[in-house]
């Protein structure tokens, strides 16, 4: 969905994908799924910020989540795809304001 709206997307399905995620790329937004465990969530956020200091984080919520952290934007997936696109756009756009 994000790619069809013009965003460049890289995905990682486990922690091993984060360190090598397009080593030369710059990322604007890290989106974490609600299914990520708390310890992994913290590790991914710390690793991401160390590699891309200006990255924003959006945590998807759909019931219990290990990524409950008020320092980052939260999004309830039940709010739907149109709202998700709006939140993603706002997060990416605010990075450059």
Average pLDDT score, the chain: 80
Cβ-contact 60, 32 below 8 angstroms: yes
37: part of which helix (H) or strand (E)? none
Range of the domain at 60: 3-95
Alpha carbon of 62 to those of 24, 30, 36, 48, 74: distances in Å?
32, 17, 12, 23, 10
Predicted TM-score of the model (pTM): 0.79
Please write the tens of the pLDDT for every residue from 1-13: 899 998 888 887 7
Domain count, the chain: 1
The encoded tokens of residue 68 equal 């409950």
In Å, how far from its chain's centre is CA 16? 16
């Amino acid at each position: 969905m994000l790619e069809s709206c013009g965003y460049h997307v890289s995905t990682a399905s486990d922690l091993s994908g984060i360190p090598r995620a397009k080593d030369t790329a710059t990322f604007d937004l890290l989106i974490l799924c609600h299914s990520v465990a708390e310890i992994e969530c913290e590790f991914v956020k710390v690793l991401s910020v160390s590699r891309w200091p200006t990255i924003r984080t959006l945590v998807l919520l759909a019931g219990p989540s290990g990524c409950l952290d008020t320092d980052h934007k939260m999004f309830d997936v039940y709010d739907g795809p149109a709202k998700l696109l709006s939140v993603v756009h706002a997060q990416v756009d605010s990075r450059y304001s």
